[in-house]
Structure formats: structure tokens, C-alpha cells
Chains A and B, each alone.
Chain A
Amino acid sequence: MLIKKPSDIKSYEITPESAYFNRRQFMKRLGQAAMLTAGSGWLTACAEENGSAQAQSIAKAKPVSLVSTEGVKQYPAPKWLKEKFPGRKIWSDSTHEELTPYEDVTRYNNFYEFGTKKGDPAKHAGSLITDPWSVTIDGEVEKPGTYTLEDILKPHDFEERIYRLRCVEAWSMVVPWVGFQLGDLLKHFNPTSKAKYVAFTTLNDPEQMPGLKLPFSSIEWPYVEGLRIDEAMNPLTLIGVGLYGKTMPPQNGAPLRLVVPWKYGFKSIKSIIKISLVEKEPPTTWNKSAPNEYGFYSNVNPNVSHPRWSQKRERRLPSSLFNPNYVETQLFNGYAEQVAHLYKGMDLAKYY
């Protein structure tokens, strides 16, 4: 965001809407100011992290740092967790597409436990108590148990990765996540050879989550999602603990969530309290609610029609009304190189 690539400059130059233009100019100036004040600090930090020989790739993959967080409720993360953020590694394979602004990533959310409207989670998720937090690991693992957040997160170094996020509703974002590989977490608990799938469960507490009290919901709570074990072990699959260099806001799934960039957004379950390694494909929330619409795999695929939204293209947010930011949807959300082998020989129209 701070160093503009030619394509980015082009996109704002052709945007006629003055307000949109002004905001980008403002963001750019903000970025320039940040470069002047904090730039040298980053470069030193990055050089220490990656070695000075990679100076060029460092310049591209520098940490996302300065964002306006005004008005966005911050997750009251414990001190030990906050302290882990500055030392995060920067992933060199991050997408260099223009980031979706922090205020949009944190104010435009699907988190039905806090309401079904996009603005509801940001409004209501402040009531989520995220500290203390614990996660139960059970099923086919040698070290099952209920662990505190600190037990879960402490052994892992954090990494910043910029991923595309594609919602099945045909909008998309580019988000700088902070997290670590799910595979690394799972290995910690020694899955047995019987572990073929991983099931995740979200907190289910109507006292903290007003959306759970709404009548006439076709969703069975708690929210459950799942992955096949090889999908879970894929290096792209993250446990997200923050975004934009900061701890995760509750509406985005504090304190820890899943991030699976080649699948539709609803697979990336939020505010996880349980991780179960299981032998059979776990029943998942949206699949149970409308099996003709949401499959277990839910890989982003422009060639598989959906009864609600055309999947051929998406609106990259922020989008403007008269100059919409349409993007052609890519197979596996553009991560085919890393994940296509997982589905070799599978009919993706059948296993959607």
C-alpha cells in the first residue's frame, strides 16, 4: 500500500469519483509520512529478519504498519500476545495487490453470531470476552486437552501474509493477516494416523453473541467448519491472530481464527474454541443449512455455478458505484499453484 506499483497508480487515476480519489491521496500521504518517520526502523527490522542480501524482496514485502484504527474497537489482547507482533516475519509470497483499507476489513464482516448485516459484527462484537480464552484439542491426537490461549500461541512465531479473501457472496478483499501455519499447530499435538479431517467450532454463547438470540434462523449453532487433513496441513492454511500488524478485532474472529485463502470466506471459521481431529468428514454449518448451495470443499471456482451469486467475477472492496472494482474470479482464488494438487482427479463440480 505504501509503495505504489504502476498498476495501482493507474487504477486511482482512472477513478473519476473525487471522494474516492481524495481518500487514496490521503492514504498515500499518510504512507509517505510513515516512511519518513518509521521507514528506517522497518528496514533494519526486515534486514535482521531476512538477511540483507534479499534487499529487493524486502522492499516489496515490508510489514504493513501504519493504519488508522480510529473508531474501531480494539481486541483487549493480553500483553504477552501484543509483544509477539513486532517480531513477526514477513512472508515474501504475499500478494502485492492493493490492500482493502483497515476500516473496511473491520467494519464489513459476516459473523452471524453478532447479526446478519455486514455492519452488525463491528457494532456488537465488542461484547465478546477474548481474554481469558481456551481451546480444546480432541479426537485423534496424542495430546488432547483444553489449553489456554497462551499455551496454544506461545510456541509459534508470527508471520504477516497478505492474502486475497473471496466471499461466496461475490465480494472480495485483500487482507494483511498475522498468524502462523495451522499445520505447525496441529503437529504440536501429534495427530494419529486416523486423523483424516479437522473440525473447528466457534464459541456459542448467546450472552456474548446477540445474533444467537435471533428467531427464525436456519443455522444450527455452534458454527462448525472443517478441512481435510491435507488441506489443513497445506502451508497456505493459517491460524490468524491479527491483521494489519495488530491483534485481531473481535468482529474478525478474535482471538484466533482460520484463514484458508483458496476457499470461500465462510470456511475460515472465527473465534475458535475447539479443534477436533476426526476420521470422518465433519458436518459443517453452511453445508447443513443449504447443502445445494454450500459444499464441504467450497473451493473458489468461477466454473461452478452457485444458486445465489454468479461466481465468475467479484467486486473487490472497496468498490465504487459508478466505477466498480470488478475482478475476474480465479480458480482456487488464484492459489492453484499451491493447492490444485490436493484435488487431483476430483470432479470439482461434484465436490463443490
Chain B
Amino acid sequence: MIKKLKPIWFLLALSPAVYLVYLIITNGLGPDPAKTVVEFLGIWALRFLWIALSLTPLKLITGNGQFISIRRMMGLYAFFYVCLHLTAYLLFMLGLQWSNLWEDILERPYITVGFAAWLVLLPLAITSTNKMIRRLGKKWKQLHKGVYLAACLAALHFIWLAKSNLLEPIVYLTILILLFALRFIKKTSKAKTVVADN
């Protein structure tokens, strides 16, 4: 069912971007549109990264392998929104002033960490084709464990960004920890069953 509905998932994942275009066209971004656009894209990047990370635990819990069929799509969507988030920041907040980019990366820790998260995700996106998966073999799996690092950096980026109220970043961090824990518990229990079977 999940596999069959792939085009639906594709369109659903695209809908935040479509909505943003609608807001831009209709002048619905408020008096400080640069900030609104950057924040909108940032939060959706985070959400898709979390969605991508939830598919393996969902498979482990439900035993339904179909969740994995949309994992690459969701991961690439996360990268798509991260790239738009970064582009919007460069274009609308910095106005393409590159000297200010270095100042931001060096002096503002949340930007350093956010930029690092993008750098970690970049090779994962590049190696997401079938050809690359085949070519890299076991190394591919190793490399794509980088997504855990990227998620931690993204969570840190979000926490560091919060000015005073940590409620929202804490909710996201809790979900991430839960997703990691589910993987760990399921994997260890599976390993135990295998040992018991022997």
C-alpha cells in the first residue's frame, strides 16, 4: 500500500514548497519575508529529516518492509528543503554578501552547526542513486550512517537558534532520541532472538 501510493507521498512532500510559492505570489509573508521564508524552509527540512529517520523504526515495529520504499524519497526531500533553506538564507538574509557568510559561519555557532549539517548531507544525496549504491556496496551503508550525525547537528542548530523558549526544539529533540532508541532496542532484541534461536 505504502509502495503503491508513492506518487501521493511525492506530491504531499512537495506541498510545503508549493504553499510557500503561493505565499510569495500572494504577498502573504508578512513585513519581514526573508525571515519568514528561511524559517519556513528550515522547519520543513527538519521535519523531512525526522520523517526519513522514522521509517526504519516503523518497519522494525510493524514488520512492514514497505516503509523502506519511500525512505530515499523522504531523505532527498529533506535535502531538498535543507538546500532551499540554505539558498534562502544566502539570498534573502545575506544578500549574497560572501564576506558576511564567513563572519556568520565563524562567529555564530548555530550557523556553523547548520552549515556542517548541510555538508554532511551533501555526499549522502550525491550517492543516493541506484548506481552509486551498487558501486559503493558495503561502504554505502557506512557512509549513510552520516545521517545520524546530520540529524544531531540539525537538532543542535535548532536548539541554539531558540532565543528563549526551548519548547519546540525540545519536542523535536525528544522525537529524535525516541527514534534512535527504537532502532537500538529493536536491533538488540533482534540480535538476542537470533542468539536464542541458535
Contact = CB atoms under 8 A, between A and B. Distances in A.
Given A217-B165, A289-B164, A108 B32 contact: yes
Interface residues on A, range: 35 or more
A116 B165 contact: yes
B65 interface: no
Given A310-B103, A312-B100, A319-B33, A19 B108 contact: no
B164 A219 contact: yes
A339 B58 CA distance: 62
Nearest to B37: A321
Given A216-B170, A218-B164, A308-B108, A321 B100 contact: no
B137 to A, nearest CB: 44
Contacts of A320: 33
B74 to A, nearest CB: 27
Contacts of A307: 107-109
B32 A216 contact: no
Q: At the interface, is chain A mostly helix, strand, loop or mixed?
A: loop
Contact of B92 (A116, A171, A324): A324
A219 B164 CA distance: 6
Interface string A78-114: 0000000000000000000000110010011000100
Interface residues of B, number: 25
Interface string A303-343: 00101111010010111110010100000000000000000
Nearest to A19: B27
Contact of A171 (B32, B37, B110, B170): B32
Given A215-B167, A216-B170, A319 B32 contact: yes
A318 B34 CA distance: 11
Interface string A8-22: 000000000101100
B182 interface: no
A319 B165 contact: no
A154 interface: no
Contact of B100 (A104, A215, A310, A315): A310
B102 to A, nearest CB: 11
A57 B25 CA distance: 41
Contacts of A169: 35
Contacts of B166: 216-218
- Candidate in B24, B31, B107, B164 with the most chain A CB atoms within 10 angstroms: B31
Given A321-B92, A326-B95, A214 B167 contact: yes
B90 interface: no
Nearest to A23: B27
Contact of A112 (B35, B37, B164): B164
A118 interface: yes
B163 A305 contact: no
B108 A317 contact: no
A290 to B, nearest CB: 8
A71 B35 CA distance: 24
Contacts of B95: 324, 326
Contacts of B170: 216
Interface string A161-178: 000000001010000000
Contacts of A19: 27
A311 B92 CA distance: 16
Contacts of B76: none
Contacts of A326: 95
B157 to A, nearest CB: 13
Contacts of A112: 164-165
Contacts of A318: 31-32
A55 to B, nearest CB: 35
A17 B30 CA distance: 14
A320 B27 CA distance: 9
Interface of B: 24, 27, 29-35, 37, 92, 95, 100, 103-104, 107-110, 163-167, 170
30 contacts: A104-B30, A107-B30, A108-B31, A112-B164, A116-B165, A118-B32, A169-B35, A171-B32, A214-B167, A216-B165, A216-B166, A216-B167, A217-B164, A217-B166, A218-B164, A289-B164, A305-B103, A307-B109, A308-B108, A309-B108, A310-B103, A315-B35, A318-B31, A319-B34, A321-B24, A321-B33, A321-B34, A321-B37, A324-B34, A326-B95
Interface of A: 17, 19-20, 100-101, 104, 107-108, 112, 116, 118-119, 169, 171, 214-219, 289, 305, 307-310, 312, 315, 317-321, 324, 326
Given A108-B32, A321-B37, 16 more contacts: A104-B30, A107-B30, A112-B165, A116-B165, A119-B30, A214-B165, A214-B167, A217-B164, A217-B165, A307-B108, A309-B108, A310-B104, A317-B31, A317-B32, A318-B32, A319-B32
